[in-house]
Structure 1
Amino acid sequence: MLTAIHPKLPMRNRDATRNFYLGALGFQEIGDYGDYLMVQKEGIEIHFFAFPGLNPKENYGQVYIRTDAIETYYNSLLEAKIRIHPNGALEAKPWGQREFSLLDPDHNLLTFGQGI
């Protein structure tokens, strides 16, 4: 019955969001409707809605993305000089995952994880 989930996150500036996800993270744009942007990478789809008054320091948007090549992806982001969250370096967690995190331009937290 349920087949997929596509989180919706706030964005202040469509161009900044598009540039980060397409340029920095390697997503592709699959829809742009002015106040609504959709991006995709492999099986992951994220939607964004316009929220120009968003205070990034008060944003609690979060997404957990599973991967099967966490070290490869982590290292590719480091090589591309993508800033990893100060408390989000790649490490093994007690709940059986290797994870790392980063913040997008609006402080939506993206956590990437792979089972140990």
Structure 2
Amino acid sequence: MLTDIHPKLPMRNKAITRDYYTNGLGFKELGTVDYDGYLMLKKDNVELHFFEFKKLNPRENYGQIYLRTNNIDQLYKELIDKKIAIHPNGNLDIKPWGQKEFALLDPDSNLLTFGQSIS
């Protein structure tokens, strides 16, 4: 029945979002058509979609997704090496619910939490 999920997150500026996710997080643009006000990105088995919301106030954005990984230590190191800002309350840590996690905010304050099961 259900096979995949492709979250849609708001973005104010397509060029800034594209740059952050492709150059910073290692995503690649999906497809060959450049849709006005819409962006589709993919990395490994994860696909993210973004819709233009020019009037978005980042302080009022509660967009968030949880991304599972099978090598959180390597991913965290890669992002630190690229000087990607980690959320002030989201440093790499083992959580009581059995996940090793870290989090960051994209340019529009969408919260991205990355996690790996430690059990």
Q: Which runs of 5+ in 1 are unaligned?
A: none
* Structure-1 residue corresponding to 2:45: 43
Q: Distance in 2 between matches of 1:34 and 1:100?
A: 32
- Once the 2 structures are TM-superposed, how far is the Cα of residue 16 of structure 1 from its aligned partner? 0.3
> Aligned residue for 1:66?
68
Q: What is the identity percentage for the equivalent residue pairs of Structure 1 and Structure 2? A: 63
Partner Cα separation in structure 1 for residue 50 and residue 82 of structure 2 = 24
One-letter identity of the residue aligned with 1:19: D
Distance in 2 (alpha carbons) for counterparts of 1:8 and 1:57: 18
Distance in 2, Cα, partners of 1:47 & 1:27: 11
Aligned length: 116
Q: Does the residue aligned with 1:72 lie in a helix, a strand or coil?
A: helix
What are the Cα deviations for residues 4-24 of structure 1, in whole angstroms up to 9, with x where unaligned? 000000000000000000000
What is the TM-score with the length of structure 1 in the denominator? 0.98
1:17 aligns with 17
Aligned residue for 1:8? Answer: 8
Larger deviation: 31-40 or 42-51? 31-40
- TM-score scaled to structure 2, two decimals? 0.96
Counterpart pick for 2:84 among 77, 82, 88: 82
Q: Which amino acid aligns with 1:79?
A: D
2:88 and 2:117 map into 1 onto residues whose CA distance is: 22
- Over 6 Å off, 4+ runs: none
